[in-house]
Amino acid sequence: MNTDSYRDYFKILGVNRDANLNEIKSAFRRLARKFHPDVNPGDKQAEGKFKEINEAYEVLSDPQKKRKYEQFGQFWNQSSGIGSGIDGLNVDFGSYSNFDDFVNDLLGRFVGGRGMEGFPKSYNPFSGEYRKPVNLDVQIILKITFSEAFWGTQRTLSVNEEPVEVRIPGGVVNGTHLRVKGKGNLQPGTGRRGNILINLQVENHKVWQLDGDQLKAELPVSYDELLLGSIVTAMTPDGETQLTIPARTLPGSSLRLKDKGWPINNGRGDLILTLALCFPSCLSSKEIDLCNQLRELRISNPRKDWINSARL
């Protein structure tokens, strides 16, 4: 096959390689109107461009043709069966998942003694371009919820149209890498198979934050609960629990619940709850009257020491 005949259909339509079908259609319509022979009568260059655009659209708009084109490049049209290949070398392109696999298999054939005669220089499999081993690993970014990261979960992935069950243990954190051995891309002719490399991305939670191995959250409390002390209901990952707030506790103070936090090393870290003073959005008339009485009865000045210390 003459490699000079290769056309970059993505470049012809002016779209990215990850363009979806709507973007491909939009680009085709725009360029077809621009280079249509009726708009450019007698213009041979525009006519050739129009043919290129139609050829590119025919391939990229067909999912099966597009997939083969992305896998095999200039050899895509031979990938459905056994073709003449390169300078008479019989190659079944349909048995390869990508062009790298094809080249790697070709290496094995030449090492086996078939020689290099008649093989084009630009496709010499012993050149530096193909000397590196083929990477058969599949890399996946997998998003999971905060709850799934805490408790663990199981996901079914599709790799080369094959379902792969992946167990995610409880206690993983954002950026954790998991490896599933022997489930990656398959190298035809050798039986060699890569791994699945998973990068876990954990979604943020509205309440909980993870700091190292400590699970943290703010616990809203009222001023009377801080002033007088109280027993309040709070949430932990395991459900509701009762907490005692000592009298005259300051806002911003923290309560530590041992072994109630993030799963670590077959155990649990600590849960840290920071007391956040929450002012009511509205007060009843009776509450306002009691606040006024408190202001009249108060004997301390909260700014006394501050004013003395602030003098310059």
Do 127 and 56 lie in one domain? The reply is: no
Do 173 and 214 lie in one domain? The reply is: no
How many helices (H) and strands (E) the chain has is answered by 9, 15
As for how many domains the chain has, the answer is 4
Do 102 and 117 lie in one domain? The reply is: yes
- Domain assignment of residue 51, yes or no: yes
pLDDT at 100: 55
Final residue before a domain boundary, out of 202, 223, 244? 202
- The chain-wide mean pLDDT, for the chain, equals 80
Q: What angle do CA 131, 132, 134 make, to 5 degrees?
A: 120
Q: What angle do CA 137, 10, 184 make, to 5 degrees?
A: 10
The pLDDT tens digits of the residues spanning 119-156 come to 444 444 444 444 456 788 899 999 999 999 999 999 99
Please check the confidence at residue 298 and state whether its pLDDT lies above 50.
yes
- Domain assignment of residue 4, yes or no: yes
Q: What is the residue range of 8's domain?
A: 1-61
Half-sphere exposure of 179 (CA within 13 A, CB side): 5
* Low-confidence winner among 10-19, 64-73, 175-184, 262-271 (lowest mean pLDDT): 64-73
pLDDT at 78: 58
* Low-confidence winner among 24-28, 126-130, 178-182, 200-204 (lowest mean pLDDT): 126-130
- The structure tokens listed for 264 are 């670590």
Final residue before a domain boundary, out of 61, 88, 112? 61
The pLDDT tens digits of the residues spanning 160-199 come to 778 999 999 999 999 999 999 988 888 776 778 889 999 9
- Domain assignment of residue 308, yes or no: no
Cα gap 71→36, rounded to integer Å:
31
Final residue before a domain boundary, out of 155, 179, 202? 202
Do 115 and 185 lie in one domain? The reply is: no
pLDDT at 178: 94
CB burial of residue 271 (10 Å; 0-12, 13-18, 19+): buried
- The structure tokens listed for 280 are 């009511």
CA-nearest of 12, 21, 19, 24 to 52 is 12
- Domain assignment of residue 303, yes or no: no
- Domain assignment of residue 72, yes or no: no
Do 217 and 282 lie in one domain? The reply is: yes
Do 293 and 226 lie in one domain? The reply is: yes
Higher pLDDT, 116 or 59: 59
Q: Which residue has tokens 């009568």?
A: 41
Q: Give the CATH number, domain containing residue 21.
A: 1.10.287.110
Do 123 and 145 lie in one domain? The reply is: no
